[in-house]
Each structure stands twice: as structure tokens, then as C-alpha cells.
Amino acid sequence: MIDEEIFRLMEEEREHQNKTLSLIASENYTSESVMHALGSVLTNKYAEGVPELRYYKGCKVIDKIENLALERLTRLFDAEAGNVQPHSGTQANMAIYFAVLNPKDYVLSLSTVNGGHLSHGSLINFSGELYNFVHYGVDENGFIDYENVEYLAKKYRPKLIVCGASSYSRIIDFERFKKIAESVDALLMVDMAHIAGLVAAELHPSPVPFADFVTSTTQKTLRGPRGGFILCQKKYERIINKAVFPGIQGGPLMNVIAAKAVCFAEAMTSEFKSYISQVLKNAKEMAEKFSELKFDVVTGGTENHSFVLDLTKFELDGEQFSRMLEEVGINVSKQTVPNDKLGWKQASGVRIGTPAITTRGFDTDACDKLVDLINLVVRDFDGSKEYVKSEVAKLASQFPIYNYNNKHVDD
Ligand code: DSN
């Protein structure tokens, strides 16, 4: 039976994605090979446990798939060990906390308002409820305040320090974080979800040599399926595996694990490195062009795939502006700016990211054009709306979603 209602909605969403542009820094478009693995018979199989140590029988092929995913993951990031089972980045973070913390233990992390993730101790998340998170912040220019990290580490002597962010456009000094962690006998966890693709392409410093644990998603700059993974030193492998299953999850999603394996292989190619290099060029170009047009770019620019526009001077908040952009076919996420007074529901800014448009083939000229259109929206929404809408539609059809090379990994 074909579920016509759902099929129709899937087609509607396909058309929506094709006709609009996503500047959401955490979004991307996977390859057809990744989607092929996702929609496969692998979804039929239960495989609780780890390869060669399963609770259900019939896992011989499944074991080969998970071992291949693991081997590719650890090779891609040059890590000693890993786990490919976390259903998401939050599950990966939860597994680390479950493995090394007791309820009420102190943990140090970047606050959500300054770019940290919900699972880094937000009070509306399990992490903030179970553990005593203390937050370091950013300075008045939006840069991580390492002296504040050091001060808080000495004051609270946390068991774990978390770095990595959902919204931070500068390179994080992992070595400095490691030194701070060592000075107070804390463990260091790096959540590299946003920058994983940049690290894989060796166009961003890797946290692996410095962190006890690295967590990530696979769907962002890495351009894989929605899912998570963990990297760690060999000595932590057993406690991490136990924390993931049976600690916080049941059966792994084997179709997703196969899709992760495809994504890891794709990320090893020279095409992927060129793609990430263009993601970085496009982000830099857009941040510079916004600055020329007198927008306030938090930290004054970017060293990765994303940046934040502070809209305060336009008397607009992030919620209002992202709604205006949605009306003309551009999707962004609202974002709090450093030490924001407005809170997350309104937020004083929007986050801009280039991974998705770069997958569609955007070069710096197309990015300039897009910035000009966004500039029109901010300065004269009513007067420019229809024009911008039609120009966005033109850009979207000029750069269709599946125009990039969907080769099978072993072609
Ligand atoms: N929600 C994601 C983001 O947009 O950054 C993080 O998981």
C-alpha cells in the first residue's frame, strides 16, 4: 500500500526545500546514497549491544555494517575509539554525562544565550536539571572569555568541562581548554556537531588530540543522516559503550548507522574537502558583505561556516526578522546575541550558515546576491517583498538541490 497522504506531504516538502533557500547553519542536504541507506531493509533488524556481542541473533551482516561505520569514523577523525549508535547529538552528550557524572556534579559549559547547546546544561533540558552546570560566557565582542573559564574552573572544580557550540563563529582553542581542564583534574568534552565537517576536511583544528570525549551529529556540515556519534580514547571505550546501551538507548537504528558509514566515506573524498573550502569562503564573503552594508556581525566576522547578525540597530528582533525572511523564501534561525536581554523567544539576532546553500552550488557571487536581497528586506520590507521573493525563487531554481555529485562511494 502506498500511503498517499504522507507521500503527497513528502512531495510537498521536497518542493518546499527546492523552492526556498536555507541559511540555517545546522541544515544540509544529504546525498542519495545516504538516503538509500536510510530507507533500506536495515530498519527491520534489532541489534542491541555492540558488534559480536548482541542480545538478538541474526546480526552477522549488521555487525559488518556497524564495524565498517566505526572503522571509517575513527579513520576519518584519527581517533582511538568511537560509538556510532547515538540517535542524535543530544543522546551522544547524554551518554558522556551518564558515563562520567553523578547527579549534582559540577560541569562547566558555554551558556545557551551565548551560543551553547540546550544539552550543555540549559535549565529547560535534562542536563540542567540533573547536573550542576556553571556557565562561562563571552566578552563584549562575542569571543569566549578564557580567563572567565579559568576562573570558574578554579572556583567550582567541575568534574567535566564542555566546549563546542551551536552558535560560535570563531575557532575554539581546544588546547587551552585542555590545559584548564588538567589544572583542575576535570575531564574535557568537545561537542563538535557544528564543525564536524570542517574538522573532517582538515580545514579546522581537530579537538581529538585534546579532548577525553568528542561528540557530534552527522547531519550538519558533515552532510550525513540525522544522528550522533562519540569519539574517545581507547581507555574510555567500554564505559561509553555501556552508557549508550543499555544506559540511555535501546536498539540502535541500523539503517541510520549504515547511512553514517556512507557519510564518513563521502567525507574522506577530495570533493568533500573542496565543498567545505567553499562553505568557508561563502561564510566569510557573506559576513564581510553584511559588514560593508552596515550590519552588526557578532565578533566582526567568521572563521567557520556561520555567523550571527545583531539586529538591534534595525529595531527588529530575530523572531520578526526570520518571519519576514520566511515570507520571501529564505529560512534562518533566530539567535540570541552575546549577553542578550531579549531571551530566546525573541532573540536579538539571526544565525546565518552556508553549508546548505553551498551544497546547492552557491559561489561567492551568488552569496553576494543573497546578501543584497536580505539587505532589501531589512531596509524596506513592504516595498521590496515581491521583488525579493521572485529573485529568491530564481536563485533557488538556478541552484537546485540535487545538482551535486551523487556518486556511490566506491564508484
Ligand atoms: N538545533 C541545532 C542547531 O540548530 O544548532 C543544534 O543541535
Binned at pLDDT 50, 70 and 90, residue 39 comes out as very high
| Cβ pair 190, 211 in contact under 8 A | yes
**What is the pLDDT averaged over residues 116-139?**
96
Atom 5 of ligand 1, nearest CA residue: 166
Residue-level pLDDT at 339: 84
Residues within 6 Å of ligand 1 by CB: 26, 89, 117, 166, 193, 333
**Residue ranges with strand state E in 96-183:** 106-110, 132-136, 160-163
Q: What pTM was estimated for this model as a whole? A: 0.96
Residue 22: strand, helix, or coil: strand
Return the higher-pLDDT residue of 411 and 88: 88
CA 386–ligand 1 middle distance (angstroms): 30
70's grid cell: 566505526
- Nearest-angstrom CA–CA distance, 89 and 229: 7
Binned at pLDDT 50, 70 and 90, residue 382 comes out as very high
How do beta strands 132-136 and 106-110 pair?
parallel
Q: What is the mean pLDDT of the chain?
A: 96
The residue among 362, 269, 348, 276 whose CA lies nearest residue 314 is 348
**Ligand 1 closest atom vs CA 166:** 5
Lookup result for grid cell 556511490? 408
State the burial class of residue 404 (Cβ atoms within 10 Å of its Cβ: 0-12, 13-18, 19+). Answer: middle
For ligand 1, mutation pick of 23, 24, 26, 226 (most atoms within 8 Å of CB): 26
Q: How many CB atoms lie within 10 A of CB 246?
A: 12
pLDDT higher than 80, residue 402: no
Catalogue all structural domains in the chain, each as residue range(s) with its CATH number: 32-266 (3.40.640.10), 270-401 (3.90.1150.10)
Q: What is the pLDDT of residues 235-248, one digit of tens each?
A: 999 999 999 999 99
- Nearest-angstrom CA–CA distance, 372 and 346: 24
Residue-level pLDDT at 410: 44
State the burial class of residue 67 (Cβ atoms within 10 Å of its Cβ: 0-12, 13-18, 19+). Answer: middle
**What is the pLDDT averaged over residues 351-364?**
98
| Cβ pair 192, 263 in contact under 8 A | no
**Residue ranges with strand state E in 120-204:** 132-136, 160-163, 187-191
Q: What is the pLDDT of residues 93-126, one digit of tens each?
A: 999 999 999 999 999 999 999 999 999 999 999 9
